[in-house]
Structure 1
Amino acid sequence: MIRRRNVVLGLPALLLSAGFAISGRASAPLRVVATTGMIADAARRVGGDQVEVRALMGPGVDPHSYRQTRSDIVAMTRADLVLWHGLYLEAQMEEFLHNLARKRRVVAVAEALPRELLLAHDDYADKFDPHVWMVPDLWKHVVAEIQRALSEARPEAAGRFAANAAAHMEELDRLGAYARETLARVPAQSRVLVTAHDAFGYFGRAYGFEVMGIQGISTESEAGLARIRELVDILVSRRIGAVFVESSVSDRNIRALVEGAAAKGHAVRIGGELFSDAMGTPGTYEGTYIGMIDHNVTVIARALGADAPERGMNGKLSAGM
């Protein structure tokens, strides 16, 4: 009787303890895993203190060729929400992510963009250029989808997510206005952007630039000698004075262009390093989406003859870009 009474008296304490555990779990931050730094940045801005975000790909990492590691798999299988880009950006991870979506909450955030806003992929039928983050007006669709995914995962915080998203959208509007106004000052004959791979198609369409990538939309495509010779001839014949390297792609082919043009008597300089498929170092201004695009716009504009502030829209860009 004594033993039975102790068990009965112990039940309320156990239930109370379980209740606290459940309550504590519900208020803990959502565990979010994002494939790219750009998605992770948006998730942090929208999620605020309601999320704990891990980005799989850091500075200088090429998402086109990235394969999930063992620690990535563990993180994604334990996450409350996995956010990936889609549009064939994470080409080597797609099968794993589709399989994971059968068991966990997994969202391809760029797939939410209306198809009429997308550019067709040069290398793959029925696929699209994934580099939509290059234009803030397009990136707003991704931010909205991240807000939706977070709100679905934690409905009780939907109001916070909406407020955070609205504040971030205002920042994106300001960034978009800066890009349009600054790049409009580039002389018409200088609006040619030559880079390592064709990551700036949306940028070119939005801001009136002719974009030439040595490689195609995916860095997995090969850059042949014929393509390099073709671009050298264009640089020389059109007197293009600057080309750009990318933080996540080898500069070998860009340097081959510079050397090839020099051999034909035309000097071409490297106008700067652009962030194409990854942001800058975490903890820096360039390690945020706003800073990444501010950097790109400012570097391109200044290199191609426009009057643009040396430290960018917010005066935060690193010195000596």
Structure 2
Amino acid sequence: MLSRRAALASLAAFAAAPAFAANRLNIVATTGMVADLVRQVGGDAVTVQGLMGAGVDPHGYRQTRSDIVAMTRADATFWHGLFLEAQMEAFFEDLGRKRPVHAVAETLEPSGLLAHEDYAGRFDPHVWMDPTMWAQCTPAVVEALSALRPDLRATFEANAAAFAAEAKALEAYSRATLMAVPEDQRVLLTAHDAFGYFGQAYGFEVMGIQGISTESEAGLNRIGQLVDFLVARQLPAVFVETSVSDRNIRALIEGASAQGHMVRIGGSLFSDAMGSEGTYEGTWLGMIDHNVTTIARALGVDAPVAGRLGKLAGSA
């Protein structure tokens, strides 16, 4: 039995809790980036289940039986769209006839999107790589959550504004850090072409062994061309991705070495998936902070090891 003091403390805690905490919206989101965005906007009013964890590639992901159960029971499902979850599009079209379904990136103005190199009429989906563009997805989340809880619109709007402010601060850090990279070294070569919006935002030439989708194949000719490019530009580093095999990147390094140019792996970047849940890198802010800091340091900039907020892993 609880003591009187414990019982009073418990009652006080309950009274102090937000009125909506006991009646949270049950949300399912596909990628970690979308799940994080909904958590940021929804705050204490939502419980969000992300389907794709650290290291999971969304391009080839197919919904499991447990995913289907979770989405059909959820108050709403949020997905990225723009052909990122290509294998799930038909399912979302069907689910949308029965339950609220929202593709957050498809609310962006098409004029600001990059063309998809593999599919005519489609766009590069990796918009979260540009903090300014990703913040522009928040109004869609506000509207979707407000449709379910109109009484909390002001809360969702305030949360979205706070997130946008954080994204703006992250963008300022990213710009200042990356502009310190010498212009002739502003080349980002990775496993697949996920950094187009990053390159557009910060003046980097971006090259991927595979195309925008990891479903595309990298031929020997492509690898040979990139080896020649590495040697000609004397680039010091290439980068692996946490959600894509490093096999092709290592083939590049070996090819460059055979031509007498030593190139190293500059680090592992988060592209289509964030870090482990519960870590700073497992948030969108931490994911981008990690990428920017890793890229800058590999290309000769004395960026802080711990990143913008001193939270990056290995900083102790």
Contact kept, 8 Å, 1:199 with 1:217, in 2: the verdict is yes
1:116 to 111, 114, 130: 111
1:92 is paired with a residue of what secondary structure?
Answer: helix
1:71 to 61, 66, 69: 66
2:310 to 304, 307, 315: 315
TM (norm. structure 1) is: 0.91
In structure 1, C-alpha distance between the alignment counterparts of 2:43 and 2:233, rounded to whole Å: 48
Compared with structure 1, are the counterparts of its residues 320 and 242 closer, same or farther at alpha carbon in structure 2 (3 Å cutoff)? Answer: farther
Amino acid across the alignment from 2:262? A
Report the counterpart of residue 46 of structure 1 in structure 2: 41
Amino acid across the alignment from 2:179? A
Q: Which runs of 5+ in 2 are unaligned?
A: 1-18
Contact kept, 8 Å, 1:190 with 1:304, in 2: the verdict is yes
TM (norm. structure 2) is: 0.92
Report the counterpart of residue 18 of structure 1 in structure 2: none
Report the counterpart of residue 101 of structure 2 in structure 1: 106
Report the counterpart of residue 130 of structure 1 in structure 2: 125
2:79 to 58, 61, 84: 84
Aligned-residue sequence identity (percent) comes to 66
Report the counterpart of residue 186 of structure 2 in structure 1: 191
1:261 to 249, 256, 262: 256
Deviation of 1:307 after TM superposition, in Å, equals: 2.2
Contact kept, 8 Å, 1:191 with 1:209, in 2: the verdict is yes
In structure 1, C-alpha distance between the alignment counterparts of 2:226 and 2:172, rounded to whole Å: 31
2:212 counterpart of 1:217: yes
Q: Which runs of 5+ in 1 are unaligned?
A: 1-23
1:31 is paired with a residue of what secondary structure?
Answer: strand
Report the counterpart of residue 145 of structure 1 in structure 2: 140
Report the counterpart of residue 200 of structure 2 in structure 1: 205
Structure 1, residues 147-167: CA drift from partner, whole Å, max 9, x if none? 111111211111111111111
Structure 1, residues 169-223: CA drift from partner, whole Å, max 9, x if none? 1101100111111100000010000000000000001100000100000000000
1:156 is paired with a residue of what secondary structure?
Answer: helix
Structure 1, residues 54-88: CA drift from partner, whole Å, max 9, x if none? 00000000000000000000000001010000000
Larger Rg: 1
Report the counterpart of residue 233 of structure 1 in structure 2: 228
Compared with structure 1, are the counterparts of its residues 274 and 255 closer, same or farther at alpha carbon in structure 2 (3 Å cutoff)? Answer: same
1:304 to 294, 299, 303: 299
Report the counterpart of residue 95 of structure 1 in structure 2: 90
In structure 2, C-alpha distance between the alignment counterparts of 1:239 and 1:299, rounded to whole Å: 19
Q: Please give the residue correspondences for 1:243-282 in structure 2 after superposition, counting only pairs within 5 Å.
A: 243-282=238-277
Structure 1, residues 75-110: CA drift from partner, whole Å, max 9, x if none? 000010100000000000000001100110001000
Contact kept, 8 Å, 2:21 with 2:45, in 1: the verdict is no
Contact kept, 8 Å, 2:20 with 2:44, in 1: the verdict is no
2:136 is paired with a residue of what secondary structure?
Answer: helix
In structure 2, C-alpha distance between the alignment counterparts of 1:63 and 1:271, rounded to whole Å: 24
Contact kept, 8 Å, 1:190 with 1:305, in 2: the verdict is no
Q: How many correspondences in the alignment? A: 298
